[in-house]
Structure 1
Amino acid sequence: MTDTTVAASFPVLTLMVLLPLAGALVVGAVAPLRRRARALGLVFSVAELALGVAAACEFDAGQGAAVQLAETRPWIPLIGVSWALGATGLSLAMLLLATFLVPLVLLASWGEVPAHRQGLFTSLVLVLEAFVVVIFTARDLFLFYLCFEAMLVPVYFLIGVFGGAGRRRAALKFLLYSLAGGLVMLVGVIALFVYAHNGTQTYLYSSLAHSMSASPAVSRWIFLSILAALAVKAPVVPLHTWLPDAAEQATPGTSVLLIGVLDKIGTYGMVAVLLPVFPEASRWAAPVVCVLAVVSIVYGGLAAVGQDHLYRLISYTSVSHFGFMVLGIFVGSRVAAAGAMVYMVAHGLSIAGLYLVTGFMARRTGTVRVSELGGIGRVMPLVAGTFLVSGLSGIALPGLSGFVPEWMVLTGTFSVSTALGAGAVAGVVIAAVYLLLPYQRVFTGAPAAARVGSPDLDGRERLVLVPIIAAMLALGLAPAALVDTLDGIAEQVATVTEGSLQ
């Protein structure tokens, strides 16, 4: 991986960390302002989005593989830890996704979180946004790990305080899985510092293979410890079981942030940490990782088909989608690697549309169980249409955001392994079933008498969903800008594992 960095003329990334933290402090700690938490949180989150757009304007898309907007300040010099931020094309894409979704989640929460608890909810979301910015732009490995663990705190409370009846159990399960993965990762990070640290910073996106004093066996052990933590976050079968419970109990907005943004830290870490830092171990593990990815694709799809609860159904579809991302990263194809990274953005958009519109429907019907619904399309045509468009984007309908990345992953995989490609295609077939079958049961047919007259999407809800659908269409119809920006990173990713499956 390239070590090329371009210094920032202005510390925009640090400002993007401080702004949501300041917003959380204002909303959460200043008592008179808590009553205006909704509006203030929205103002801060929109300002954060504006900073993200400003960062994108400063970014040279033609050098997407280089670390740009870089800033470095000493933090703990004794162990070589620094406040080191910088953005590659992938970092920037994930930043823009996160800053785009946060204000929409806050706007959607006006109807799902009681007014007297909006201060706490808004503060937690803004703190989480600050951690996300650090994670996706950290260049120092210790800084990445620190925020990787710290973000568990706001997510735990978002699920445990604002979720459904089983929220405490779901939040605890999420925390235990994440902490277990994090502790294993900590051992790997410490070992990495011991065997590769040479008095300077241990940076992401840079190869330490030349300075590793560990044997190949020890290097592979360190690799596996970090991979396990990232696989929990991704999530990859069999480390996925926390996700359906969390998604079932969390508010739709929390699920959007958790699955649409935070879980991408797993796949992002594979690109930014595992492959560049452990190229030999990545080649060694690639065949097994690719098989597990295909298992995730198929298993996630089959599990989704059998769900009666829409939130759980959507979560299992995400397990399948993450399988495509992991497969594209490790299969050793430049096309597949680029597709996997574009997939990270496309999935965030489709999952946001699905969870939010399902939440809006649940407020009107009092249920998200497929067996208790029917004929909703005749009563709420906008809800039905939004659900269908978001779902079709998720299963890669041409013209929507999911098509190009899934096609790229499949094409790249087939160029390397027919068997893996065939397994992934099986997931595509299953996807049509897990979307269209519940859509038929929920939205078609005659509505129950109690549903007749139920209101469709109101103005605020349309304001939430229209930008998401517009983004799906924009990425689906004009993906070239993002693909070109990520191509340099994709080339480097593919080089690491190229030939490992032959």
Structure 2
Amino acid sequence: MNVLLIALLALPLVGALLTLAPGLLGTAGAGAGGGSGEPGDTGGGSSDQVGRRWLRLGAVVTGADLVLAIALAAGFDRDHTARMQAVTDLNWIPAVNVRFHLGVDGISLPLLLLTALLTFLCALYSLWRLPAGPGPRAWTGLLLLLETGMLGTFAVLDLVLFFLAFEIVLVPMYFLIARWGGEGRGPAAYRFILYTLLGSAVMLLGFLLIGIKAGTFDMTVLAHRHGAGLSHQTQVLAVLAIGIGLAVKAPMFPFHSWLPDAHTAAPTAGSVLLAGVLLKMGTYGFVRVLLPVAPDGMHTFAPYLGALAAVGIVYGSLACLALVRPGARGDLKRLIAFSSVGHMGFVLLGIATLTSTGVNGALFANIGHGLITGLLFFLVGAIKDRYGTADLDRLAGTTGAALYGRAPRLGALLAFGAVASLGLPGLAGFWGELLAMFGAFRPAAGLDRSAFLVFMTLAGLGTLLTAGYLLNVVRRVCMGDPARTGTGAPDLTPGQPARPGTVGAAGAGGANGNPAGIADVHGYEAATWAPLAALTVLAGLWPAVLLGLSNPAVKALLGGS
């Protein structure tokens, strides 16, 4: 088991290092068009052929990593989900008592699986839809390095290692946005890196404070002590410092302002991983680090965390309602980004209750949001490829974009993603938000119940507003007159792949400027999106598959409550 976990982290790192080896998969002939972006390529095949080899390498490595994650889950002891399994504990830096400590329990296992799945789907999608940029080789290397950092964040059990893994993801995500992103990618990438680095610097101070005062950075030892040996003042300072860094990544209102620009500018795969995994790293840190290590400090800040979470829920919904309004020139990717502020507000509200019900709801909402928002960003990327825009006003015009009539399967999937995101019972978005509000109805002892009832009411209002804007999106994008001629370039004919290094290349699917001829869901799109849709239904109909894993581990982290 421990070999599987080490291999899970090492495989994408080795794959990323392979992309630095010159001429490993051949070199492109001089002067070939649509190049791989690697200077000095000569001989060994066309640029497109070499590029596709690198993309296939990325798909093979991430696919193998997904298989390892599934094998890890298959061997996981579900009767002892609160116990760390697949443990590796080695002395790494004795001078400062830092250990190479890995392990997985019922809290981290679903996040490891989600990360491996989404990264593989992004690599698979990139085989046909790689955005214009430096080239497939660089894209593959950055994607694999990003996966290493994401998986490491959920597997390490030492605060210093956690910080390193938490930071590894910033560099590849910065370049994915800055080099392969769309309009405004430069400022969006700078804002992303600036906010997250500043937050991480403050977070590191909190980690050092805990390590110095407790005499160890080992997260399992600190969790077992449950705050013993750390004064109330130390815990308050640690929660404040670490919480700021985690809140930026979560993203919690008002530390969220980097998110809409980053999502709007990022390529499709970047948006999927940013929303599906990177945001979960912040909320996971609250559960894994702050709840067990500094319980008194969390108790002090819980009402403030709950208040900001409730405000974030309403704020995110109101921002989306403003974007979906006709004439607002709202961008669909920006709308989903703001919706994430609201949805992650439910996660933070569940954590703020300091109850097993609320925290289990938060962890369930993490997984549900990753599945649903990942699917939505894939769908919006496909719509932008077909129409040449994600601007709601340009898409809908006066009668609607009419996806039901022009591409019925694509329209049905978008409607499915929307109703899943608004929390329809029977789908993955329902249970996490419901449990978070249940936790707010009866928060932990010592918390002001009247305040949390207000937070619960605001969260309930947020669900109504969420339904309002998502159903409005469905009305404007999926409905309308399919015979109306609109703007935007048509997509490829069914089954015609885009060349590596390009996106949205025009095919023979219809005359330019006639979206009535757009292609419906391609085979590679169906293969990429189907697992997310199926798991969204599975988690909604069988919530015990996740709650059975997390509940014992959550109770242990909360001190057996």
Q: In which range does the TM-score fall when normalised by the shorter chain? A: over 0.9
User: Conserved in 1, the CA contact under 8 Å of 2:133 and 2:179?
Assistant: no
**Amino acid in structure 2 at the alignment position of 1:455:** A
**Deviation digits for residues 406-437 of structure 1 (CA, Å, limit 9, x no counterpart):** 22222222234422211110010011011011
**Deviation digits for residues 413-468 of structure 1 (CA, Å, limit 9, x no counterpart):** 22344222111100100110110112211221114312111111111111111111
Match of 1:144 in 2: 162
CA separation in 1, counterparts of 2:346 and 2:177?
A: 27
**Amino acid in structure 2 at the alignment position of 1:465:** W
User: Conserved in 2, the CA contact under 8 Å of 1:337 and 1:494?
Assistant: no
Alpha-carbon offset, residue 495 of structure 1:
5.7
CA separation in 2, counterparts of 1:206 and 1:394?
A: 36
**Amino acid in structure 2 at the alignment position of 1:185:** M
More helix by share: 1
CA RMSD of aligned residues (A): 1.7
CA separation in 2, counterparts of 1:235 and 1:77?
A: 35
User: Conserved in 1, the CA contact under 8 Å of 2:134 and 2:180?
Assistant: no
Change (3 A) 1:58 1:245: same
CA separation in 2, counterparts of 1:322 and 1:446?
A: 36
User: Percent identity over the alignment?
Assistant: 36
1:195 aligns with 2:213: yes
User: Conserved in 2, the CA contact under 8 Å of 1:330 and 1:494?
Assistant: no
User: Conserved in 1, the CA contact under 8 Å of 2:133 and 2:180?
Assistant: no
User: Conserved in 2, the CA contact under 8 Å of 1:196 and 1:208?
Assistant: no
**Amino acid in structure 1 at the alignment position of 2:285:** G
**Deviation digits for residues 309-328 of structure 1 (CA, Å, limit 9, x no counterpart):** 00000001100010000111
1:283 aligns with 2:299: yes
User: Partner of 1:425: helix, strand, or coil?
Assistant: helix
1:427 aligns with 2:462: yes
Match of 1:395 in 2: 422
1:204-353 aligned within 5 A = 205-207=223-225, 209-212=227-230, 215-307=231-323, 308-353=330-375
Of residues 226-235 and 453-462 in structure 1, the stretch that sits farther from structure 2 once superposed is: 453-462
**Amino acid in structure 2 at the alignment position of 1:309:** D
**Which structure would you say has the larger Rg?**
2
Alpha-carbon offset, residue 491 of structure 1:
2.4
User: Conserved in 2, the CA contact under 8 Å of 1:128 and 1:155?
Assistant: yes
1:156 aligns with 2:197: no
Change (3 A) 1:350 1:76: same
1:338-487 aligned within 5 A = 338-373=360-395, 374-416=401-443, 417-447=452-482, 448-449=484-485, 450-487=514-551
CA separation in 2, counterparts of 1:378 and 1:428?
A: 29
Alpha-carbon offset, residue 190 of structure 1:
1.6
User: Conserved in 2, the CA contact under 8 Å of 1:108 and 1:356?
Assistant: no
Of residues 158-167 and 415-424 in structure 1, the stretch that sits farther from structure 2 once superposed is: 415-424
Match of 1:4 in 2: none
CA separation in 2, counterparts of 1:409 and 1:113?
A: 38
CA separation in 2, counterparts of 1:201 and 1:481?
A: 29
Change (3 A) 1:192 1:357: same
CA separation in 1, counterparts of 2:298 and 2:225?
A: 12
Change (3 A) 1:207 1:297: farther
User: Conserved in 2, the CA contact under 8 Å of 1:331 and 1:494?
Assistant: no
CA separation in 2, counterparts of 1:377 and 1:140?
A: 50
**Amino acid in structure 1 at the alignment position of 2:377:** Y
Of residues 441-450 and 458-467 in structure 1, the stretch that sits farther from structure 2 once superposed is: 441-450
Alpha-carbon offset, residue 361 of structure 1:
1.1
Of residues 137-146 and 54-63 in structure 1, the stretch that sits farther from structure 2 once superposed is: 54-63
1:61-140 aligned within 5 A = 61-109=78-126, 110-114=128-132, 117-140=135-158
CA separation in 1, counterparts of 2:24 and 2:122?
A: 23
User: Partner of 1:367: helix, strand, or coil?
Assistant: coil
**Unaligned residue ranges in structure 1 (runs of 5+):** 1-7
Alpha-carbon offset, residue 377 of structure 1:
2.3
Alpha-carbon offset, residue 154 of structure 1:
0.7
Alpha-carbon offset, residue 277 of structure 1:
0.8
Change (3 A) 1:140 1:360: same
**Amino acid in structure 2 at the alignment position of 1:472:** T
Alpha-carbon offset, residue 486 of structure 1:
0.6
**Amino acid in structure 1 at the alignment position of 2:240:** L
User: Conserved in 1, the CA contact under 8 Å of 2:292 and 2:558?
Assistant: no
**Deviation digits for residues 391-417 of structure 1 (CA, Å, limit 9, x no counterpart):** 111111112111122222222222344
**Deviation digits for residues 236-256 of structure 1 (CA, Å, limit 9, x no counterpart):** 000000000000000111011
User: Conserved in 2, the CA contact under 8 Å of 1:24 and 1:127?
Assistant: yes
Of residues 321-330 and 397-406 in structure 1, the stretch that sits farther from structure 2 once superposed is: 397-406
CA separation in 1, counterparts of 2:208 and 2:425?
A: 46
Change (3 A) 1:30 1:388: farther
Match of 1:3 in 2: none
**Deviation digits for residues 20-47 of structure 1 (CA, Å, limit 9, x no counterpart):** 1111222343434253011111111110
Alpha-carbon offset, residue 260 of structure 1:
0.7
For residue 5 of structure 2, the aligned residue among 4, 13, 22 is 13
CA separation in 1, counterparts of 2:212 and 2:431?
A: 42
**Unaligned residue ranges in structure 2 (runs of 5+):** 26-49, 324-329, 396-400, 444-451, 486-513
